[in-house]
Amino acid sequence: MEYIPAKHIVTNVPSAGQWFGIDYNMNIYRGCCHGCIYCDSRSACYRIQDFDKVRAKKDALRIIRDDLRRKTRTGVVGMGAMSDPYNPMEESLQLTRHALELIHAFGFGVAIATKSDLILRDIDILKDIAQYAPVLLKVTVTAAEDGLCKKIEPRAPVSSRRFEAIRQLSEVGLFTGILLMPVLPFIEDTDENILEIVEKAHETKARFIYPAFGMTLRDVQRDWYYGKLIQQFPDERLVEKYQKRYGSSYRCVSPRAKRLWSIFSQQCSDRNILFDMKDIICAYKRGYENQQLTLQI
């Protein structure tokens, strides 16, 4: 493991509360080895060299401890914005686990985004945190079937393992759901894929699904993505379809977005699965208002 310097790790969120009610952001690792062909974090604006190589921030736990100690109020700490906190190296390093212990010690809540079932290892700490503060667990699933998943997220745990993780997290009472994003145009934006994800979410007791029927493309990441499309889908002329429809646009909304939203929202409503951001935030924070106020005082 290569270690890189950092002054702070727990940082304030500029638009606090808008993205899943998160107040602070925490990225212990830099880079990611999942190899997802669509990852926006490859974009030049983030200035991450050799993105597929995972690095850890030097003295991370000491910095996190000091950052949390300096905060004037508690809140929800988000993990997983730029790199997966449960990359394979985490199994032995346990930096994410120890960071959760610090979050617990200082009275904060946590919101985690991951593609890995390694999160199951930390159920004990997550349940401890949930005794007094909000806990939100977001597991990314964009392909219902493992075969397609292996093409677009080649080194991440396959979708079936993630659905099983959702089941186990939900069974112990942790507020868990799915990030259905990005939904890749011309690849994942089919009725069958979306409906199967909703059905599996229902079977595994997921509380919510938050979708984005499309993706983003810019500079370095666009070239990377097009190269992977040629490798993984050589007979489908997908690059030509993207260039014709989107050109150099940053936002690439699926041409089927309106249709997909209609069937998705109806199926979620029928199964009592939340899909509106405000409803998700309200639900996972419900019951913690008095506890959080006491901690801030």
Per-residue pLDDT at 239 exceeds 90 = yes
3-state secondary structure of 231: helix
For residue 119, what is the DSSP state? Answer: G
Taking only the tens place, the pLDDT of each residue in 30-88 is 988 999 999 887 877 777 778 889 999 999 999 999 999 999 999 999 999 889 999 99
- State the pLDDT at residue 220: 83
Taking only the tens place, the pLDDT of each residue in 158-191 is 999 999 999 999 999 999 999 999 999 999 999 9
Percent above pLDDT 90 for the chain: 86
What's this model's pTM, rounded to 2 decimal places? 0.94
Q: In the CATH hierarchy, which fold is given to the domain comprising 2-288? A: TIM Barrel (3.20.20)
Indicate the domain borders of the chain: 2-288
Per-residue pLDDT at 153 exceeds 70 = yes
- State the pLDDT at residue 16: 67
Average confidence score pLDDT of the chain = 94
- Confidence at 294, pLDDT banded by 50, 70, 90: very low
Q: Judging by beta carbons within 10 Å of its beta carbon (0-12, 13-18, 19+), is residue 271 exposed, middle or buried?
A: middle
| Cβ-count burial 119-129 (b if 16+ within 10 Å, e if not) | beebbebbeeb
- State the pLDDT at residue 167: 98
Per-residue pLDDT at 297 exceeds 60 = no
Percent above pLDDT 70 for the chain: 97
Q: Which of 36, 8, 219, 4 is nearest to 116 (CA)?
A: 36
State how far the Cα of 51 lies from the Cα of 44, in Å rounded to an integer.
Answer: 11
Per the listing, tokens 């921030």 go with 57
